Structure 1
């Protein structure tokens, strides 16, 4: 007999076909393997057919991931050999691999003086290098990428066509003879830009050395990475960092730093085992870790750094010439997407940078750096981008017979024996367009779910254009035309306004319910859960601003069973930056006396301002009343300061669930926490510790009132200390997003999940 398999997952551009080829040869099987737009197709004949799939599963390439295997039994064709044949264009459903950091084998070659790619800045193979950022269309073939303009030399082509070579069909394969070129631009005294175009062998690496020298001199440079440019300077040079802040108009928000190696990070930071695991993973994300040495101007006032390791050949070559960490922050105007083209860089940030290290391999799809954080022995994703996204997941749908199929079923599906299989092709195409901050989009079609890389805050024309461009990118890649758009209920979200202008069926899902749904989707949860959703803002069903919510929720509906006492957002959106009047207005009169703005705050409290239950704003008010901040200079500042001063030796807390009469009541009164912060103004440790303990215990006490497992969601749970304390104190089974962003980056996931389960 002949067996035909259709395998889906991350199986293209990752060395999957050569692995299949080797296994087939070893098992003396005949047939073929090919890439198609909806997966990898394999046909095999031979005595060892029954060993094939198990052997394949046990020998997958490092970047490959199998989600589903469909099996079909056919009549024998009597193949005489096993071969890899050309890609076949069919329905587009295969996963696009995220961009992956340079692998150890390529690093070894790059620093081998006898290797023809010695010091080559674009070295890659099937196990590493650009993927999503260079792709124009599926299938992932060179002609469909930005590498199409570079004709391979004979040696590269020989590797590319050899099934036993590590670079077999590694689409970005190239070398000094046939690959992209680095170029350097710098700003002249008259403000014009000049480009260095000497292309002989010596100058190829000299360009990187030149940029390294300029960084040493204190200059600010822009370096092109996989998904866009970084703004770079010497992180140990206080004046250089201060100048970058002045030019970029970013006075206090922390900068991420890139280090040469893990040992150097350990000189500046205290790392847990989980920190180390995340930092050294193949994705090489930015990881938030504890400071050991304070570098002025990098992350003043807080106890964390965002650190990451080199992930491109250019980064590694740069560190051959410098021995200090560098600031490596996204090259963009505030709230706009990362810049991917040097002409745009000169236009928008020409007054910020002195030198540009560019190359002529075009970035088709911009992609920022991912940001993650270890929590106990787990982790949370704060920005899902390079290395992790696009994130594809196979979903399962209920059949007419009430059974479920498709998710992780692997080789159990047989077309001949599953009469219900065709129902999978009748699912709606669903587009979830996310929130206004930390926007992502998600789409679902057939049995596939895809989360886009981080798009960002939709607060500028440029960011809205990027949002629309990302939608168009995924429509093109997957021949996707949505039947349904699912958006937030907030009428002023740009994503919602865009959705309502489309001539499509629209569903609007409440913001905090979408957070809960995103967690259910990640863990494939069914039934009721007690969901604590704490964040900064979200449009509530009653027209007020929610953000401190407790739901009983399932895949289909939710009930708001508790919420933090609503208060007036004095100043509207300005209260996010300036919590002073909002905070003092809530204090008991005798405690408020010590604040200069008491009269103003109390008078303003009579005004007509939006009502909110936002936990994010409660954090801000506590930080202000304790004296940690006068205003919020950047998002998350108050939370990180409260974390900094938390002392685990202080066990004191204020019971919000019992002594304040929560019980079976909906409203959780937190004003006693504000009074405590104001009365103990200046004692940062005490206020921070009592506040975190009180919120953690409130969650635990309320959860004990219900015979339900718990979901934690929303941006406030990026607070590592709060999340850790709840996990330590609770005996409940607790779920929170890990691979999907726990903040508003997960909203589109929840929206699309609701569509999958309800439409």
Structure 2
């Protein structure tokens, strides 16, 4: 008889791990016990040595679906013997809430077993919207403190009935210590004005069926729901929500319904059905034959649509009743944080929603929907939120660090003990409500993880609210350049050690020379970097205002692009573009450029996308950041075109992509009546060729052969595909973020990685 202690680290609390350990030990005939201790799982096991070895192996290989086991450790026990004691599941040890950093389980979509019960008239949870078990249901959104027990969640106000209490206490039941466990007798209740339960649900279904917009209280916040096939109601939702042209996400009943709307690869299918249930950006089916009705206003003018499957029993009940795709979008006005408080939600959405389908389970933490996409087999995380955050990612750190994040698509990161928690997507830090949502989320996650940062990394830009917040904190601060953070995030996710070549393409970020960057080639490691290449600069008339007016950016490129020896496009080629602009505005912008008034120069790939979109008549003004680039990618479609002219020159010790020949050739071919789609495709190819040229010159001068891609421009599937193909052709190793958002949502993780590396270098 052998007695061993075991210690399991990872996401092993709140995911049914202790009952899994119980069942595994019982199946092998082992004695002992298991408990939650200090955010981990520990215990003792006694029996034949071979059975104990099998037990330890199964803790990793057969773990519950929601568990993420990082390490299983067996050690000798001080106990000499343990005979015929059976196997016990112990409750959490007191004092765990003050212990070491922990890993918080993310929310998980309803599992197949619960869905079967939801639809079974013989089951006592038949049509109960809040059905869950250890394999599914709310986690991060309801946790108030740790260890993860019911009394420390927002479910503490719902005492268990006799039947639920029996399941909760039975180690052999799949609801053993499922902290949100509930049923119609003891759990949360739906409400619609004075109606409750099924009557409330029927009222909401009736409202949507008759063309209404419903505010629904979801897992991580309120959502706005309407018929995705009704162009009038979708347009009205845009007007009320002040949404502009940004696409809406659409929820469908199952994979079959998704396949009627979009083409779905094996990887996309797997992502749609995963427990995190992200929104997956998919290619819309062409033609009308097999395509289910979807209003054009859902994703105006774009060939791709964001689809996702139901996340809760409530969503399934709605879709079962309505039998059609539904717009399910964040419950807020544009640029505001998603609403989670009932009273505040009613105040914010009273002019948007026709009715409120709510319930009495409080939401503790705000989590919007996650968004992912695929380029071939490569998965890209666009937004890391519900279902993904705050699950940890690996990151070697000597002492606890935090990353404050950027301004747009904001997240923050807390890192300690070899793991980093990227906080939930906040949005754009444009106003006080969003800023308050960030600071509240930061304080709560810091408390839950037990991470008390010794160092805080932040962006260089003094105008970012995240930077201003960082400057107020009583911590040692480490400034991190924006684009270095982008490529460091990619390198850290993939475990790259030492030097690498970073390609960072995005909208704007402050460079270490005080100018605006955005098309950068860097030789870097996690500690620092050296700029070896860039895009040519051009003025941004009006500064930040140019982001919303691509036509201004286009004039900046035409009239003020950096003098690198190439002639600017001839005036007669630009006339077709300038003639369609408002004469007064065009004259004002010309004067601003000529006098260099409020025209900061930027070497930005993102702004070059904007300029080309405007020149092709696709977007003179935009309603959201990145819209012009999205429309340009959509116009390119699957077209194959002859690339435009490009030129890479040496200037000020750097390799520089001179965009003037590209724009001149674009305008000439436009004048020659070449279709817009071909020109858009040609531009994408040209940018990939220029990137490969810049990288090849850097490698020829001794740069590393591992290339890390970062920045929001690489959300563009066509650009990413062509860049990867051309760099692979050079025999280079090419990496791009998968779990870490490739855009500004990944900046905080990159900041934390840089800070950790610099601290390690101080030894």
* TM-score of the two chains, using structure 1 as the length reference: 0.91
Cα contact 1:676–1:687 (8 A) shared by 2: no
Q: Tell me if 1:670 matches 2:659.
A: yes
Aligned to 1:175: 183
The CA distance in 1 between the partners of 2:266 and 2:449, in whole Å, is 39
1:592 Cα deviation after fit: 2.5
1:147-199 deviation digits (Å, cap 9, x = unpaired): 01101011111111111111010000111111100001xxxxxxxxxx2145x
Aligned to 1:380: 380
Q: Tell me if 1:656 matches 2:632.
A: no
Cα contact 1:112–1:118 (8 A) shared by 2: yes
Task: Give the stretch that moved more between structures: 272-281 or 544-553.
Answer: 272-281
Cα contact 2:101–2:450 (8 A) shared by 1: no
Q: How does 1:572-611 map to 2 (within 5 A)?
A: 572-587=543-558, 588-590=569-571, 591-594=573-576, 595-596=578-579, 600-606=588-594, 607-608=596-597, 609-611=599-601
Aligned to 2:204: 211
Aligned to 1:719: 716
Cα contact 2:422–2:749 (8 A) shared by 1: yes
Task: Give the stretch that moved more between structures: 147-156 or 36-45.
Answer: 36-45
Aligned to 1:698: 690
Cα contact 1:615–1:716 (8 A) shared by 2: yes
Task: Give the stretch that moved more between structures: 225-234 or 604-613.
Answer: 604-613
Q: Tell me if 1:527 matches 2:517.
A: no
* TM-score of the two chains, using structure 2 as the length reference: 0.91
Aligned to 2:628: 638
1:310-358 deviation digits (Å, cap 9, x = unpaired): 1110010111211221111101122121111221111111111111000
Aligned to 1:289: 282
Cα contact 2:553–2:610 (8 A) shared by 1: no
Q: How does 1:4-15 map to 2 (within 5 A)?
A: 4-15=5-16
Cα contact 2:395–2:492 (8 A) shared by 1: no
Aligned to 1:356: 356
Q: How does 1:75-224 map to 2 (within 5 A)?
A: 75-79=78-82, 80-88=85-93, 89-90=95-96, 91-184=99-192, 195-198=193-196, 204-224=197-217
Q: 1:53 aligns with which of 38, 56, 62?
A: 56
1:625 Cα deviation after fit: 0.5
CA-atom RMSD in angstroms? 1.8
Aligned to 2:615: 625
1:110-147 deviation digits (Å, cap 9, x = unpaired): 11111111111110000000000000011111011000
Aligned to 2:41: 40
1:190-236 deviation digits (Å, cap 9, x = unpaired): xxxxx2145xxxxx223212211110111111111100111111111
Aligned to 1:424: none
Q: 2:234 aligns with which of 237, 241, 256?
A: 241
The CA distance in 2 between the partners of 1:325 and 1:640, in whole Å, is 24
Cα contact 2:414–2:446 (8 A) shared by 1: no
Structure 1: runs of 5 or more not aligned: 185-194, 199-203, 398-426
Cα contact 1:622–1:673 (8 A) shared by 2: no
The CA distance in 2 between the partners of 1:332 and 1:649, in whole Å, is 37
1:552 Cα deviation after fit: 0.6
The CA distance in 2 between the partners of 1:315 and 1:96, in whole Å, is 24
1:661 Cα deviation after fit: 6.5
1:470 Cα deviation after fit: 1.0
1:275-312 deviation digits (Å, cap 9, x = unpaired): 22222222211111112356221111211111111111
SS, match of residue 727 in structure 1? helix
The CA distance in 2 between the partners of 1:260 and 1:503, in whole Å, is 49
1:633 Cα deviation after fit: 2.3
Q: Tell me if 1:474 matches 2:479.
A: no
Q: How does 1:255-274 map to 2 (within 5 A)?
A: 255-274=248-267
Cα contact 1:656–1:662 (8 A) shared by 2: no
1:648 Cα deviation after fit: 4.3
The CA distance in 2 between the partners of 1:396 and 1:751, in whole Å, is 13
Structure 2: runs of 5 or more not aligned: 286-290, 559-568
Task: Give the stretch that moved more between structures: 229-238 or 244-253.
Answer: 244-253
The CA distance in 2 between the partners of 1:577 and 1:666, in whole Å, is 30
1:243 Cα deviation after fit: 1.4
Sort the Cα spacing of 1:302 and 1:226 in 2 relative to 1 into closer, same or farther, 3 A. Answer: same
1:396 Cα deviation after fit: 4.1
Cα contact 1:2–1:77 (8 A) shared by 2: yes
Q: How many residues align?
A: 714
Cα contact 1:532–1:710 (8 A) shared by 2: yes
Cα contact 2:414–2:421 (8 A) shared by 1: yes
SS, match of residue 356 in structure 1? strand
1:34 Cα deviation after fit: 0.4
Cα contact 1:61–1:127 (8 A) shared by 2: yes
Aligned to 2:306: 306
Aligned to 2:566: none
